[in-house]
Amino acid sequence: MADIGALLSPNAVAVIGAAPDDSILRGRILHVMMQHPFAGAVYPVSRSFDEVQGLKAYPSIEALPERVDLAIMIIPAKFVPDELERCGKAGVKAVQILTSGFAEEVGEDGAKAQQRLRDIAERYDMAVVGPNSEGFASTKVALCPTFSPTFHNQTRPMVPAWRKTGHLAAVAQSGGIGFAFYDRGRPKELPFSYVATTGNEAVINCFDIIEHIIDKDDTDAFLIFMEDVKNPETFRRVAEKAMRAGKPLIVTKVGKSAAGERAAASHTAALSGSYSTYQAMFRRYGIIEGADTDEMVEMAMGFSLFGHCLPKGKRVGIVTGSGGGGGWMADTLSMTGLEVPTLDAETRAVIDALIPAYGTSQNPVDGTAGAVREIGYANLLGMVRDSPSVDAIVGITSARRASTYEDERENLSKLARETEKPILIWSYTNPHEESVTSLSQIGLPLFTNSRNCARTLYEMAEYRAFRERFLRAPEIKSGANADQAIVGKALDAANEVLCEYEARPLLAAYGIGDGGARMANSAQEAADIAADIAAPVALKVQSPDILHKSEAGAVALNLKSADDVRAAYDRIMASAQAYNAGANIHGVLVQAMAPAGQEMILGVNQDEKFGPILMVGLGGIYVEVLKDVAFSPVPFGADDARRLLDRLKGVALLHGVRGEAPSDVDALVDLMVGLSEFAADFGDKISEIDLNPVLVHPEGQGVSVADALIVKSSKA
Amino acid sequence: MADIGALLSPNAVAVIGAAPDDSILRGRILHVMMQHPFAGAVYPVSRSFDEVQGLKAYPSIEALPERVDLAIMIIPAKFVPDELERCGKAGVKAVQILTSGFAEEVGEDGAKAQQRLRDIAERYDMAVVGPNSEGFASTKVALCPTFSPTFHNQTRPMVPAWRKTGHLAAVAQSGGIGFAFYDRGRPKELPFSYVATTGNEAVINCFDIIEHIIDKDDTDAFLIFMEDVKNPETFRRVAEKAMRAGKPLIVTKVGKSAAGERAAASHTAALSGSYSTYQAMFRRYGIIEGADTDEMVEMAMGFSLFGHCLPKGKRVGIVTGSGGGGGWMADTLSMTGLEVPTLDAETRAVIDALIPAYGTSQNPVDGTAGAVREIGYANLLGMVRDSPSVDAIVGITSARRASTYEDERENLSKLARETEKPILIWSYTNPHEESVTSLSQIGLPLFTNSRNCARTLYEMAEYRAFRERFLRAPEIKSGANADQAIVGKALDAANEVLCEYEARPLLAAYGIGDGGARMANSAQEAADIAADIAAPVALKVQSPDILHKSEAGAVALNLKSADDVRAAYDRIMASAQAYNAGANIHGVLVQAMAPAGQEMILGVNQDEKFGPILMVGLGGIYVEVLKDVAFSPVPFGADDARRLLDRLKGVALLHGVRGEAPSDVDALVDLMVGLSEFAADFGDKISEIDLNPVLVHPEGQGVSVADALIVKSSKA
């Protein structure tokens, strides 16, 4: 495996293409590097200059006085592959390519050139990042090979000196956005260990870098901007590793819309893929999605300062000197999914003794501005923190003045140090720079946006709960089914489309009931089977060429007498012929009518990137009109299945909301788990499975799969 | 009417309770006032001091050397009423009371004291603002009687000198939030004309002040924070006036959650009322709701700079030098409800000739950083602005450096001055203070938050469309029905609960079909009516004591023969007796079974503040499980009714989404309009109307109101 350590902490660096003029990119990058005290040597490599910005320049990578771990490359695209080859020969272990004009370019030449980069990187086992990237910053070694203006003429240290823990890394395909995370976070006194930008990801992708940083264990949360996932296996491995290590991944994914997809494709040649699949993958690993830089950075701030004591629940106490701010925050927290309960009587009595009659202790605790000053902000926060009614605190403040927290610095620091419940501060006014710094030194996160504050707390609570489940969950096994080999062989032997009668026996091996359906090849045979079943039956044509059987008039329901069955058989055959004269008709399936139940739809679709994704929805109009469906990768366990159902807006229908008996959710969950295992075991062979409709009967009476279809993958 | 002009532009001001020590509120307020060059005299009134902060102090309001328009009062609550009386006698026209401890206090004394303030204000016709307020700022006259730290030791002018138009006013019940709007907006170089805070609103409320400012016409948009509406008539009048004048109201309303309601009640004694009703009122008048200060201030910025050329549609062109930023913005715009179409071929050809192959002209137009510099940002923005494919532009930039826009200042200014489509700028990095100033001078709004940028554009387009409709709409008249007097008398004479047979004739006068229902008082009478109807009938008990007829077993459906009708009659009477032995039973209603149709529910409920509010929803599970309902004040016209239906998530069901025939939406709209007129005409007499279910038949076949109920107001 290529050595990303050589990228982020090299012995020395060559800058290939460095120029004297720092108003152009090729000059700026060296200029920026020289502004930071990287301990190793920096060697300009230039064909045109002997000296660049006061440093001796070398005509080629081979001419350097020592072997360097890292080369930064900013030369015209057409020279890049040969230069990369030379780097490989010279023993360079990592190369960051900033040059644009590869796969993101219109036409095929760029893609070919990018393939060449991949080949060379592989040959020399080099960690090649880019092309079309904006460089990186590795603050621990004060190395900033980037032309981002963010690291240009910095007036403050790269990292606030007092922040020894809670480091963040920004990892992004987009250079602009990657450095924007830093640029937005640094003024909030957030400590960044790394900013890495990966551009086209010809070789190394975001998750390779994240994995390296997780393993290094000097970073506690990640801000990630991605246009696509280049390598699903890496993504899965790293996402799981991050959750096990308790290092949150806060992600935004571009390409949610047609225009966004277009932009990503043209920007870094990303194939963004289905956003709903990405969302399902993010949920699978507890990855937190953010919608804008401010929100993502403020969420990271919460984890940076209170990642070690995430809230145990969603009950929040509010302390405020502004009544309006308190009310607004109470609404905001409530609308975000948190609770703002009235405090317990004991806590209220303590507070009531201290505040004026026009204040209130109920929650929000509105001490009034004057009383807060008298009691002390730290004291009041501490009193609410001690209430058994809350899991976390939001303190509202106006951080507008420079000295707001100086009087209470010691008490606030003690509070921040000793609390076992997170305390988040929201300033309704623009905070003064010095107040930002003093709160950071005190150890309390200062939010400027009320919704971001609320969402951060929500995600902190969710993350804790998710991680506890994740660590506790038994490993879900695929490949555990005794009949896997038999089913696999049957699948291999089958045609591309497996009609219900062909699909059912295979699904049955995974506990998906076959409903006692049997095939008939004549009207009389159908009547005989119906007589055996001795209950009203349904007849359905079985043909790989007629997938919409109802539309073709090739279904008959609720048939009771032998005559009816025979007549229906003939009618179905005639309709099927009329609908598609050339259709290959295998026969007619006869099965008992399913009793009534809540209609559901289950399906599996093959995602090009992430493999089989299971979908569940409430049937009929719910799916068609309201798109009330939920997705998950496979396989999954019973708890996951229940949570998946809980994501449906109409889930209450399963619980008998209209006075009906609750549905047999246990049986539905078993069905979902079985289907997820089937999909996992044969993910490479199938492109689609439809169980539609599935009828969920009242509790204890199971489910009926009323129709089933499997379409094999054309690649299998 | 009390003179709010005397508040905001007084000849001179008395500060009653002023103190020398500017570290306490009573001292700070005078200190802040003296820092700004208000032209009139400022008189401290103090019992304890002869001189306060260098000004001669007076022992009482009567002792001042001249009559003053305005008194600021910051003295203990118990002295306030008497002092207010003295102000009235001394000819003071406006008083801002900052003192707390009135209706917001626990117990009844505060409420009584507040009533006294109201009485005195009325007697002297004084504009009394507060109590429990934080003062105000009137920047045109440089008057800032407030202890808000926002106006304390300001380092820049109150208003950017170059901003002659697009002024904003912040009007808030909460002082902290009111001044926070200013505090967040001023660093963005937004020009505020007023910041007014109203506290408990004992006399003057937010909308009184807004009305004065609209009439004065020196302000173009409003930022409003409210805990409740004190006077619904004022609210309605002012909201309509604002829309007619094209001055957007950007509002946040606290009390959306139980905790928020609690906070508002304890903060300013606000009775927040039902949030869904507030939302319906906001929508009625095109009022824009904001969720946090940043979002509200950034929306106001858009209107401040481009209120004169709001977008004609929702198609947005994006110009970017950052590919990642472009993709993210494209997604953000799309998810906000805007469109990001591919540009027309002509525009693309012009752009393609100028940008490198790894850029793109499709939209987002990613010129790449280098090319944007060469072509010129203004030029590129202008090219996209000229495209017939777009109604507005978002320009993406990194405003991090101080001098970013200096080279192009002239071109950008020309662009901003001449454009007829709004151009919004988003910086993905933290903008430099000087860049903020230069863009403001250029005349382009600089957004720091991508979602706020998108939402601003969306709301600008919505506002334009709404206002065009609003100005065009015929005035909807209530009281136009010829039978109003007759129906009114019948309602007066009726009992509290009007059963279906009583309600139907009244509703019929408003075009709400009575379905040919007739009352029967014996089994034979029922059979005779059924014979007349000559179609399957339904029988329903009619009793004000049995509202849940089905639950009582007192409904029979689909009766065909005379025997069945007679038997059903007897069964219904028996069940009704069994269900409620003491029930007053008026008889049994016989009516033709309604044909099938899409089930809807219509209702009217009396809101304590805003009067009758009409509700419409898709029936059955949609209402019960998905709460898929929409609300509107009454009366309304056909267009409003259609838009109300469009707000239902399941509206597609009315359009025959599953291949069924589309429903008769015209008939449903007529029904809604008729019901809205009924509710408007008798709003004071009724507390509830239920039409449930209403069946909407296929197009051209009308609607059936299957049940109807009116409950009169106990107050009527």
- pLDDT per residue over B25-72, tens digit each? 999 999 999 999 999 999 999 999 999 999 999 999 999 999 999 999
**Same domain assignment for residues B576 and B606:** no
Looking at residue B475, its pLDDT comes to 67
User: Of chain A residues 248-287, which have a CB less than 8 A from chain B?
Assistant: 252, 254-260, 262-264, 266-268
pLDDT digits (tens, 9 = 90+) for B307-351: 999 999 999 999 998 999 999 999 999 999 999 999 999 999 999
Look at the block and give the residue holding tokens 């780097």.
A87
Residue A33 lies in a domain: no
Question: What is the span of the domain harbouring residue A605?
Answer: 598-712
Strands (E) across A215-284 are located at: 221-226, 249-253
Instruction: Report pLDDT for B361.
Output: 93
Q: What confidence category does residue A477 fall into, taking pLDDT thresholds of 50, 70 and 90? A: low
Q: Say whether both B429 and B444 belong to one domain.
A: yes
Q: How far is CA A578 from CA A315, A551, A565, in A?
A: 64, 12, 20
Q: How confident is the model at residue A272 (pLDDT cuts 50, 70, 90)?
A: low
Which residue type does B371 have? Answer: A
End-to-end, the C-alpha distance of chain B in Å comes to 30
Q: Do B398 and A429 touch (CB under 8 A)?
A: no
Predicted confidence (pLDDT) per residue in B76-92, tens digit: 999 999 999 999 999 99
Strand, coil or helix: what is B97? strand
The verdict on residue B325 lying in a domain is yes
* Cβ(A536)–Cβ(A590) below 8 Å: no
* Number of domains chain A contains: 4
DSSP letters for A324-367: HHHHHHHHHHHHHT-B-PPPPHHHHHHHHTTS-TTSB-SSSEE-
- How far apart are alpha carbons A518 and A593 in whole angstroms? 13
Q: Considering only residues B547 and B565, tell me which one the structure prediction assigns the higher pLDDT.
A: B565
**A453 and A510 co-located in one domain:** no
* CB < 8 Å to A294, chain B: 294, 448-449
Residue A350 covered by a domain: yes
User: Which chain B residue lies closest to A101 (C-alpha atoms)?
Assistant: B358
Q: Of B648, B683, B688, give the one whose Cα is nearest residue B668.
A: B648
CATH of the domain at B228: 3.40.50.261
Task: Flag whether B45 is in a domain.
Answer: no
Smallest CA-to-CA distance from B248 within B333, B314, B138, B168 is with: B168
**B181 has a pLDDT exceeding 60:** yes
Residue A438 belongs to a domain: yes
**What CATH number has the domain bearing residue A561?**
3.30.1490.20
- The answer on B453 and B520 residing in a single domain is no
Residue A349: Cβ within 10 Å count: 11
Mean pLDDT of A338-357: 95
Q: What is the pLDDT of residues A526-563, one digit of tens each?
A: 999 999 999 999 999 999 999 889 889 999 999 999 99
Q: Are residues B119 and B231 in the same domain?
A: yes
Burial status of residue A260 (CB atoms within 10 A of its CB: 0-12, 13-18, 19 or more): buried
Quick one: pLDDT band at residue A160, thresholds 50, 70, 90?
very high
Cβ atoms within 10 Å, residue B51: 11
Is residue B716 over pLDDT 60? no
Same domain assignment for residues B345 and B448: yes
CATH of the domain at B694: 3.30.470.20
Strand-by-strand arrangement of the A127-129 sheet:
A42-45, A13-16, A70-73, A94-97, A127-129
Quote the percentage of chain A above a pLDDT of 90: 82
Provide the phi-psi class of A135: left if phi over 0, else alpha when psi is between -120 and 50, else beta.
left
Expressed in percent and rounded to 5, the helix, strand and coil fractions of chain A are 40, 20, 40
Residues B94 and B243 grouped into a single domain: yes
**Is B39 within the bounds of a domain?**
no
Residue A183 pLDDT > 60, yes or no?
yes
- Fill in the amino acid letter for A26: R
Nearest beta carbon to residue A292 from set B179, B401, B449? B449
In order, the DSSP letters of A195-213 are EEE-TT-SS--HHHHHHHH
Are residues A149 and A273 located together in one domain of the fold? Answer: yes
CA B440, CA B446: separation in Å to the nearest integer?
A: 8
A390-440 confidence digits (pLDDT tens): 999 999 999 998 888 888 999 999 999 999 999 999 999 999 999 999 999
3-state secondary structure of A136: strand
Report yes or no: B246 at the A interface, CB cutoff 8 Å: no
* Domain endpoint, select from A472, A501, A517: A472
Whether A652 contacts A662, CB under 8 Å: no
B401: which chain A residues are within 8 Å (Cβ-Cβ)? 149, 152
Q: What tens digit of pLDDT does each residue of B64-77 get?
A: 999 999 999 999 99
How far is the CA of B513 from the CAs of B222, B505, B559, B596, B686, in angstroms?
45, 9, 22, 16, 20
Helix (H) or strand (E) holding A289: strand A288-289
Query: Is B641 inside any structural domain?
Result: yes
- Cα separation, A538 vs A558, in Å, equals 6
Shared domain check, B572 and B638: no
Rg (CA), chain A: 31
Q: How far apart are CA A165 and CA B42, in angstroms?
A: 53
A150 pLDDT more than 90:
no
Q: If 0-12 CB within 10 Å is exposed, 13-18 middle and 19+ buried, where does residue B253 land?
A: buried
Which of A233, A257, A291 finishes a domain?
A291
Distance from B174 to chain A by nearest Cα, in Å? 5
B357 interface with A at CB cutoff 8 Å:
yes
Residues of B in contact with A269 (CB under 8 A): none
What does the pLDDT look like over B105-134, one tens digit per residue?
767 788 898 999 999 999 999 999 999 999
- Element of type H or E holding B14: strand B13-16
- Given A262, A291, A320, the domain boundary residue is A291
pLDDT at B715 over 90: no
CB A319 within 8 A of CB A381: yes
Same domain, B107 and B212: yes
Q: What is the pLDDT of residue A625?
A: 80
* Contact list, B260 vs chain A (CB under 8 Å): 327-328, 330-331, 334
B332, A429: Cβ pair inside 8 Å? no
Name residue, tokens 């060449």.
Answer: A116
Q: How far is the CA of A291 from the CAs of A294, A297, A381, in angstroms?
A: 9, 11, 30
**pLDDT value for A64:** 97
Residues B143 and B224 in one domain: yes
Q: Is there a domain that residue A11 lies in?
A: no
How far is the C-alpha of B266 from the C-alpha of B263, rounded, in Å? Answer: 5
Name residues whose C-beta falls within 8 Å of residue B586's C-beta, 6 or more positions apart in sequence: B499, B501, B519, B542, B543, B544
Say yes or no: A218 and A318 in one domain: no
Which tens digits make up the pLDDT trace of B461-486? 999 999 999 999 876 667 788 899 99
State CA B279 to chain mean position distance.
6
The reported pLDDT for the residue numbered B615 is 95
CB contact under 8 A, A450 and B292: yes
Give the model's pLDDT for residue B371. 80
Q: Minimal Cα–Cα distance from B187 to chain A, Å?
A: 9
Q: Tell me the chain B residues in contact with residue A657 when contact means C-beta distances shorter than 8 Å.
A: 621, 624-625
